[in-house]
Structure formats: C-alpha cells, structure tokens
Structure 1
Amino acid sequence: MSHINQSPNKNWTPLHDQLHKTLRQRKLLPENQRILIAVSGGQDSISLTKLLLDLQSKWGWYLAIAHCDHRWRPDSEANANYVKKLATNWQLPFFLAVADQVYQSEAEARKWRYQTLSKIALESNCQYIVTGHTASDRAETLLYNLIRGSGTDGLQALTWQR
C-alpha cells in the first residue's frame, strides 16, 4: 500500500510533506496549539501561511494572522488591507498593529515588531509565533551581525526557534 499522499488535502505537495516532516523531527509546532503567523504581505509569509493552512487539519492548529505596519512605505496601509483581506478569505482571525513612530533602523523596527507580536500572542492566547524568513534573510542577518561586531554569537544568524 502506498503512503505517498496521506494528507486530507488533495493539494498536498512534496513541500507540504517536507514541512510536515521537519515540524515533527524538530518538534517545532506541536499538535492542537494556537499559532500566530506574522504576515508581512510578501511572498515568504503568504506562502508560509498557505502551507500552515494546508497542514492545519492534520495538526489541529488554531491559526491567526498578525500584521505589523511600520509605516515605512506610502502603500503600507494598502498592504495592511491586503493582508486583512487574505485573513478574511482564509477565515482566520486578524490582528493589525501600526507603529506609533517611524523607526530609523531595521533593528529598531524588528524589536518593535517582535515585542508587538509577543503582546498580540499573549492577548490572543497563542503559544507560538511563526515568521517566514528566506535564506537571503538569514544571510542578511548574519552579515548585519558580523558588521556590528557581535562576535561568534552573530554567526548563528537566525535559528529555528527564538
């Protein structure tokens, strides 16, 4: 008997299978947990959200979306509305946070974003926060850490868990 397509979703792909195996092996997101997904509106976070949605029935997760608007771009409000529309279409709770100031550096914005996501997760009783990062994000963080002189700690760049 073949076990290639064990998913309840007919759109199960090798990527879904790989994510499913990685989550199991690394014990990253246990079954039946409340998960807050940070969605910027970019392809990485949207793809991650879609993958988690596809795996949701198999894992029994409660999923919600949070969007942090840094107000860096003139179209940031339109982007936030786009993410809200995605959440509505996917029937997921949506949380929007808008920065009360314009941060001058990526590091300041990241700090605000992570603090904000932590607050939203706490208030919505989500045990996990998931963000999407690409290999280039990892390389960028590694370079940033090296440039600012963080020593060997900076060589770790982004990890699987924070």
Structure 2
Amino acid sequence: MKEKEEYKIGKLLASIRKTMGLSQTEVAEKSHVTRQNISRIELGKYSPGADVIQRIEEALGVERIYITKNNIIMGESLSLILGATDVQELYKVAKVLPCFRLVELSKDKNFVSAIWDDEYEMDYEEPEMELDSILTNLNWCCGDPEEYPLGSKCWWFVEGLEPEL
C-alpha cells in the first residue's frame, strides 16, 4: 500500500507542477530539493519525509496535501494530536468519528493524529470543545491520566508535535 500512496502523491505533484508550467529544475531550486529527488518522488520511487513534501508544496504554492486510502485531500485543516491511556482504543474510536477526515496512528503507536473535517456541522464553536463533547458521550475523560483510576479511558491533546500523516 505504501508504494500506492507514494505513486498517488508523486503523480499529483507532477500534475500540479506541469499545470503551473514549471520544470522539475525550477521546483527543485524553489524547494531546495534535488531535481533527481523531485523526479523520483513524481515517479513514486522515493518516499520523502513530511518536511520535503511541505517544501515542495510551498514551491508549488499549494496547501497541505493528505493522502488517505481512498482520497487525496488538499487544504489547510486543523490537525490534532491526541494521547490516551489506551491509544489503540482511542484510534479505533477516532477512525469512525464523522468529525475527522483522516485519522492515523503514529508509527510508534503512542499518539493518534487526526485532521478535522471542515464540513462537519458542530454543536460547539470550537473543534476542541466539540471533540471533548463527542468523546465524553462515548465515556472518555479528558485530562491528566493521573487524575483518573487505573483502566479509565482518558485522552488529552498533545502539544508541540506535528502529525505524522
């Protein structure tokens, strides 16, 4: 599946570059990524890190690109990183919530990364309050895990990390 995602994003970046009338060399100069790596990314033969993708996106003048199993999502949406006393269980719950467009488990399985669905109709003004309400209704407590008994379903926002999408 990883090759498929690499191919999708590479194909999309190549299409945007060509539509803008830019050469691989021009994108390489603007993004500070070698032309060879631009070519390899476009062909799906190289899996760049998020920082490289971000530099290419900025060079092309596009907003954040997310690849899911079924979609390519473009746009700058609210990204949330969540911790939990049971990260695997929170991941299962978050995957089916209608308020998210994309939910992934971090590579080290310590965090849940989620992208808010801007089209989701909220009951509250802020996504953070909406998420707190949703998870509270599903018997999840928000806060410091030390304040809840062992085995409690407790979640919290993780500050200062970038999502690994």
In which range does the TM-score fall when normalised by the shorter chain?
under 0.3
Whose helix proportion is higher, 1 or 2? Answer: 1
User: Higher relative contact order at CA 8 Å, sep ≥6: structure 1 or structure 2?
Assistant: 1
Structure with a larger share of its residues in strand: 2
Name which one, 1 or 2, has greater alpha-carbon Rg: 2
